Amino acid sequence: MGYPAFNLTADQLTNPADHSAADLSTGAQADLKRWLAMPPGLREPLLEQMRRYTPPPRGELDGPCSWLDKETRLCRHHQHRPQVCRSFPVGGDGCLAWRAAYDK
């Protein structure tokens, strides 16, 4: 995960009025609300990162999220994190599996 995994594309985040909320999943609707409440100075760099993103070759890890503070191992923008991060409990099986993979 090179950047926070919002349930929306860069186009949906850039032009939310062009997309019907009824067509969005519950998670995407929640992420859109968080996105719109996020400070513009935080949104713009993330949009640029999403536009430039290239997935790693199949089977390779992507690297930590760009919002991860490597020293504290905490999210720099925890209050703005997407739904997937909210649904992924710290210390849970999935979390521990990802941490083990990146520690290698």
Domain ranges of the chain: 10-103
Tally Cβ neighbours within 10 Å of residue 103: 6
Q: Which residue has the higher pLDDT, 74 or 87?
A: 74
Q: Which two tokens stand for residue 24?
A: 């969005």
The backbone region for 59, taken as left when phi is positive above 0, alpha when psi lies in -120 to 50, beta otherwise, is left
**47 close to 13: Cβ distance less than 8 angstroms:** yes
**5 close to 82: Cβ distance less than 8 angstroms:** yes
Q: Which two tokens stand for residue 87?
A: 């649904």
What would the pLDDT profile of 61-71 be if each residue is shown by its tens digit?
Answer: 787 888 989 89
Mean pLDDT of 64-85: 90
